[in-house]
Amino acid sequence: MEYDVRPGDPEIINVLESLETDFTSIIMTTVEGSLQAPRTNSSCVVCIYHVPHGYPNLALPELFYLTEDILESKSIFLGDVRREKKGLVTGQGRSLVVVGKDEIFEEAKRIALNNSIDLDTGLFYRSDIGDINLAPL
């Protein structure tokens, strides 16, 4: 569980995907001093980050491709990438995130993992994200 989520950190995607209250409304009512408890949904959210090989220490730019329909998907968010004529090129950070969302955690995980496999970018991602059978570190 992450408690130190800051806007700008990729972990905020889990929070944003769980909100029913419009995020802009939350910001505006916070500024006005009239914030009410935001409404959230009951969905489980699993995010799988795709990164260049060698991340985080020795990551080199990698070229990969995504179709326009994938780029317009509501379950994929781009991070540290830039467009070039031949495709997309990673920076040294987290390149993209695939979101799986469902009422059941295992289904959210399955969605995120299957969508990650289907992307076939060649980037690195961990397939054990959300594995409740892993021993804590």
CA 67 – CA 71 distance, rounded (Å): 6
Place of tokens 């916070």: 30
Question: Which residues, including other chains, have CB under 8 Å from residue 92's CB and lie 6 or more apart?
Answer: 52, 55, 56, 59, 60, 61, 80
CA 134 – CA 136 distance, rounded (Å): 6
pLDDT at 136: 44
Has domain 43-119 been given CATH number 3.40.50.300? no
Q: Show pLDDT as tens, one digit a residue, over the chain (137 residues).
A: 555 666 666 678 888 999 999 999 999 999 999 999 999 999 999 999 999 999 989 999 999 999 989 988 889 999 999 999 889 999 998 899 999 999 999 999 999 999 999 999 999 998 776 665 544 44
pLDDT at 35: 95
Q: Output the pTM of the full model.
A: 0.81
CA 96 – CA 68 distance, rounded (Å): 15
